[in-house]
Structure 1
Amino acid sequence: MAFIIHPVHRRMTELSIILNNRKLTSSEQLELVHCLKVNADLVQQTEGYKEAAYAAHTAGNMDLVQHFSEKLDEMEAKYS
């Protein structure tokens, strides 16, 4: 199963470290909100592919299972 670490995850980590040391600037706060939105989209897309693959598997449609698994692999390769 794909495990994706998108560049936005790395930036959220950096901003979290900054937040532990000092207050975020306005631009950093806006960037963090943007990162959270991008992360939410990634989670939704990943979970959608997983749910679709599960539904296809349950229906016995292995071609669709393969299709959605490939989509997850493509996402993983794109962000690795």
Structure 2
Amino acid sequence: MPILPVHERLAELWVIRSRRPLTEAEEKDLEHCLALNASYCRQLAHLKNLSLLAAMTNDTEWQHEICRQIEKMTR
């Protein structure tokens, strides 16, 4: 799975928080990054579930389309 800019920022904020309290702006940034990360994970999980459904119903064309979408997200 790729490291997205949001993941880099989350890591940066985690390191900052281990050294000192976050500023109000940094706290907001952390919340924003966590929300984006959760959305990304939910979207990827949804596509993986759809891929499983496509495989279970032998819908190869649909599964290939879903796999292309997963590949776009994970490059």
TM-score using structure 2 length: 0.95
Q: Deviations over 1:5-60 (max 9, x none)?
A: 22101100000000010000000000000000000110011001100000000001
Identity rate, percent: 29
Distance 1:45 1:18 in 2: 29
Aligned to 1:31: 29
Residue number among 59, 63, 66 corresponding to 1:68 in the alignment: 66
Runs of 4+ in 1 over 2 A off after TM superposition: none
Given residue 37 of structure 1, which amino acid in structure 2 is its aligned partner?
A: A
Given residue 54 of structure 2, which amino acid in structure 1 is its aligned partner?
A: A
Of the two structures, which has the highest relative contact order with CA contacts closer than 8 Å and spacing of 6 or more? 1
Aligned to 1:14: 12
Number of equivalences:
75
Unaligned runs of 5+ in 1: none
Distance 2:2 2:56 in 1: 25
Residue number among 30, 53, 56 corresponding to 1:55 in the alignment: 53
TM-score using structure 1 length: 0.89
Given residue 22 of structure 1, which amino acid in structure 2 is its aligned partner?
A: R
